[in-house]
Structure 1
């Protein structure tokens, strides 16, 4: 992907995120909370997997 296209795409995503947070902060916080839960569960599952390998 050309550098200019990548820069424009990143700016569009940033603008969209700011717009979404401004229009619906409650919903945005729910989305962030859901993403955080997925990350935490993935790390816990990976830790459990590594623990299983070591036992």
Structure 2
């Protein structure tokens, strides 16, 4: 099982590096989308907690 995790991790690293080198604009867009999703999730959690208190 540990060997499989190591292989998957290396494949992920290679894919990320390939994407960054091949299409840096697309990689930047994906990172921006990811951070926007995290930001939206944090805002939603904040609104939920505010509604619980109110």
Equivalent residue number for residue 45 of structure 1:
44
- For residues 14-53 of structure 1, give each alpha carbon's deviation from its aligned partner in whole angstroms, at most 9, with x where no partner exists: 1100000000000100010011101100000001000100
How far apart, in 2, do the equivalents of 1:20 and 1:27 lie?
Answer: 8
* Structure 2 residue ranges without an equivalent (≥5): none
Aligned length: 54
* Structure 1 residue ranges without an equivalent (≥5): none
TM-score (norm 1): 0.95
